[in-house]
């Protein structure tokens, strides 16, 4: 792969990372060794296979997976993403090589002509502004001229990504590309407050935390999904308050209490818009502002009436490998973190085309 193609592929990938609220966990793998006395170890993949016997008692793969299933699902997702990225690189590399050959150019020449040459140089004022704002962090003795190339590259990063993606999309549209790589699916019960058509072909189950800043950042993408696919997509909300968010669990209970009065989505919107006001008194104030029956609401919240509902959602999330928020399951295809609308669109369009 040429340096220019590698650079173009990096530019075409999504810039930066999309994060979510999560609690790190896990332990280092231990080296294999002899089994303790009385324990017999085997290797197998069938869920019914006995993995070990302990003093005559069987331990099956099913038992083990019930304990570490979440980690296994997470590894499956990462394996798929790595394969998907590798497959995409091979496809793009092949398309670029074929297109360059048709024009009698090297791959380097083709990419320079179709990406670099189509990006106008940033304005001098913009270059100077970046230099002045960042010169304190630059190496001693740096001048505008010595840093010009780096500053221009920085300013053109997003533009290069856009131009590269457009080029690769055009090449792909002209070719016969059929991707057969299947994404792992995890079916989640669509149980909870919902919006969208009940008969929608695509169901999105969202696990979220009202105190998680990334969950609130994901809301514009969800709103955009409903705006563009209102008759084709149904969104179902389920609770996953993280234990290090001290007000999240009670906020989830409060939202469930509001749902009891038919005001879940209004309460949901208010909580995300006021993440600094999630104390119990704040939750009661929000209920009053939204016109709920405060007597019923307060009784529901103070009595812990909805605790079992939130607990059930959390158990369902953990069972399918959720360890952070927000987490979305689009017809079983998992999308983690505060993703842009384009990421949702990619999966939804693929599902609608199935």
**pLDDT tens digit sequence for 118-175:** 888 889 999 999 999 998 999 999 999 999 999 998 888 878 888 999 999 999 999 9
Say how far apart CA 335 and CA 144 lie, in whole Å. 42
Write the DSSP assignment of 59-105 as a string of letters. Answer: EEHHHHHHHHHHHHHHHHHHHHHHHHHHHHHHHHHHHHHHHHHHTT-
The percentage of the chain sitting over the pLDDT mark of 70, rounded to a whole number, equals 88
Task: Label residue 319 by pLDDT band (50, 70, 90).
Answer: confident
Say yes or no: 66 and 16 in one domain: yes
> What's the average model confidence in pLDDT over 328-343?
94
Q: Among 235, 266, 247, which Cα is nearest to 209's? A: 247
Say yes or no: 176 and 266 in one domain: no
Say yes or no: 167 and 251 in one domain: no
Say how far apart CA 45 and CA 210 lie, in whole Å. 39
Say yes or no: 178 and 203 in one domain: no
Say yes or no: 169 and 55 in one domain: yes
pLDDT digits (tens, 9 = 90+) for 194-236: 999 999 999 999 999 999 999 999 999 999 999 999 899 999 9
Q: What is the pLDDT of residue 18?
A: 53
On whether residue 275 sits in a domain, the answer given is yes
On whether residue 229 sits in a domain, the answer given is yes
On whether residue 146 sits in a domain, the answer given is no
Say yes or no: 170 and 319 in one domain: no
Say yes or no: 175 and 205 in one domain: no
On whether residue 177 sits in a domain, the answer given is yes
Say yes or no: 160 and 207 in one domain: no
Say yes or no: 275 and 247 in one domain: yes
On whether residue 27 sits in a domain, the answer given is no
> What's the average model confidence in pLDDT over 51-55?
95
Say how far apart CA 175 and CA 170 lie, in whole Å. 9
Q: Bridge partners of 181?
A: none
Number of domains, the chain: 2
Q: Give the predicted TM-score (pTM) of the model.
A: 0.66
User: What is the residue whose two structure tokens read 């019930």?
Assistant: 66
Q: Are 308 and 294 in contact (CB under 8 A)?
A: no
Picking from 184, 202, 229, the residue at the C-terminal end of a domain is 184
On whether residue 321 sits in a domain, the answer given is yes
Say how far apart CA 342 and CA 46 lie, in whole Å. 38
Q: Among 291, 286, 266, 289, which Cα is nearest to 276's? A: 286
Say how far apart CA 8 and CA 16 lie, in whole Å. 15
Say yes or no: 229 and 314 in one domain: yes
Say yes or no: 172 and 238 in one domain: no
Containing H/E element for 207? strand 202-208
**Position 67 pLDDT exceeds 80:** yes
Question: What is each CA distance from 183 to 51, 75, 98, 336, 351, in whole angstroms?
Answer: 28, 13, 28, 14, 11
Could you tell me the residue range of the domain that residue 210 belongs to? 194-353
Say how far apart CA 264 and CA 267 lie, in whole Å. 5
Q: What is the pLDDT of residue 29?
A: 36
pLDDT digits (tens, 9 = 90+) for 15-26: 444 567 876 543
| CATH number reported for the structural domain that contains residue 263 in this entry | 3.40.30.10
Say yes or no: 102 and 198 in one domain: no
């Amino acid at each position: 792969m040429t340096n220019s193609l590698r650079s173009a592929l990096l530019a075409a990938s999504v810039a930066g990372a999309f994060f979510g609220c999560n609690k790190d966990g896990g332990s280092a793998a231990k080296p294999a060794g002899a089994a303790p006395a009385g324990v017999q170890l085997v290797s197998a993949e069938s869920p019914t296979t006995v993995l070990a016997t302990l003093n005559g008692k069987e331990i099956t793969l099913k038992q083990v997976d019930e304990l570490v299933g979440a980690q296994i699902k997470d590894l499956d997702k990462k394996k798929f993403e790595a394969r998907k990225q590798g497959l995409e690189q091979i496809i793009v590399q092949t398309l670029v090589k074929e297109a360059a050959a048709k024009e009698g150019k090297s791959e380097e020449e083709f990419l320079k002509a179709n990406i670099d040459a189509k990006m106008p140089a940033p304005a001098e004022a913009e270059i100077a502004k970046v230099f002045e704002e960042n010169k304190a962090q630059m190496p001693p003795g740096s001048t505008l001229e010595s840093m010009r190339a780096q500053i221009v590259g920085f300013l053109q990063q997003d533009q290069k990504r856009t131009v590269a993606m457009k080029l690769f999309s055009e090449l792909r549209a002209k070719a016969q590309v059929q991707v057969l790589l299947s994404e792992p699916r995890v079916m989640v019960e669509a149980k909870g407050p919902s919006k969208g058509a009940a008969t929608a072909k695509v169901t999105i189950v969202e696990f979220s935390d009202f105190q998680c800043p990334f969950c609130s950042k994901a809301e514009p993408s969800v709103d955009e999904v409903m705006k563009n696919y209102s008759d084709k997509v149904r969104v179902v909300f389920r609770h996953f308050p993280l234990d290090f968010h001290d007000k999240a669990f009670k906020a989830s209970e409060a939202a469930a209490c509001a749902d009891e009065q038919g005001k879940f989505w209004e309460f949901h919107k208010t909580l995300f818009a006021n993440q600094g006001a999630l104390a119990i008194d704040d939750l009661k104030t929000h209920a009053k502002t939204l016109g709920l029956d405060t007597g019923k609401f307060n009784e529901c919240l103070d009595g812990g009436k909805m605790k079992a509902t939130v607990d059930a959602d959390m158990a369902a999330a953990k069972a399918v490998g959720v360890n952070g928020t927000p987490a979305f399951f689009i017809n079983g295809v998992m999308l983690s973190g505060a993703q842009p609308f384009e990421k949702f669109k990619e999966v939804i369009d693929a599902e609608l085309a199935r």
